[in-house]
Structure 1
Amino acid sequence: MSRGKKLDLQIGAEFDEGWAQVTEKRASVIVESLEPSRHQLVFHKEKRRGKPVTLVGPFSVSKDEMKELLKTLKKRLGCGGTVNEVFLEFQGDIQTKLKGLLEEMEYRFKRR
């Protein structure tokens, strides 16, 4: 196959027999919403494109509550961040500041 030609998927395959298009999305990960004192959060540090990223979670709350929590924490920390399934991602190595803020909100952490 030369570099400029596209792959032809119609060769020898019939998609009409027994194939169905999947339209539903993945089920929600969260089963029930827990109060802050019942969480057992952990921290992970990663490097993405040479810069540190701090992940904290898993949170057992709804997506809307996670977005509100993220918005509050980003404002108080002065950094960027995003929601990633059940974890919150923050730009920078801010584990000590973040732990203090979450403890003020009565979240608990696993001991290492």
Structure 2
Amino acid sequence: MSRGKKLDLFIGADIEDGWAKVESPRKTAVSDEILQPSKHFLFFKKEKRRGKTVTLVGEFHILQNDSEALLKALKKKLGCGGTFKDGWMEFQGELRDKLRELLISESFRFKNTH
């Protein structure tokens, strides 16, 4: 096979032949309910992505503007990168202890197991 040509393979069925597209449900259901920080019960998850540790904290039930402002302030205090997806804040690195202190100072609460 030469390097300049790509293979054009078609594997599968046409949707017009009576087949239906299967869509997987979301992993987490995003709630429309807005809670005060003292009503949240947050917990941590730790994941490895591409060999790096990512700390997840959530699930947050706050307005989009409030979540962006909180995320920006936390990233600045921690000196790391992060994002907000589906009600969870993701931070680059192992930051569980530092995050706990900062979020408690913002009046968020955590589950007893963590």
TM-score when scaled to structure 2? 0.76
Aligned partner of 2:103 in structure 1 is 102
CA offset at residue 101 of structure 1? 0.3
Q: Which runs of 4+ in 1 moved over 4 A?
A: none
Q: CA deviation at 1:62?
A: 2.0
Percentage of matched positions with identical amino acids:
45
Question: How far apart are the structure 1 equivalents of 2:73 and 2:34?
Answer: 19
Tell me what 2:66 maps to: 65
Question: How far apart are the structure 1 equivalents of 2:11 and 2:84?
Answer: 38
Aligned residues: 102
CA RMSD of aligned residues (A): 2.7
More deviation, 65-74/99-108: 65-74
Per the alignment, residue 3 of structure 2 pairs with: none
2:57 match: 56
Residue 93 of structure 2 aligns with which residue? 92
What's 2:45 paired with? 44
Go from structure 1 to structure 2 and tell me whether the alpha carbon gap of 1:45 and 1:7 turns closer, same or farther (over 3 Å shift).
same
Q: 2:61 is matched by which residue type in structure 1? A: S
Partners of 2:46 and 2:8 in 1: CA distance? 43
* Counterpart contact for 1:30–1:61, Cα < 8 Å: no
Matched residue, 1:5: 8
The Cα of 1:73 is off from its aligned counterpart by 0.3
Structure 1 residue runs without a partner (length 5+): 20-25
Amino acid corresponding to residue 33 of structure 1 in structure 2: I
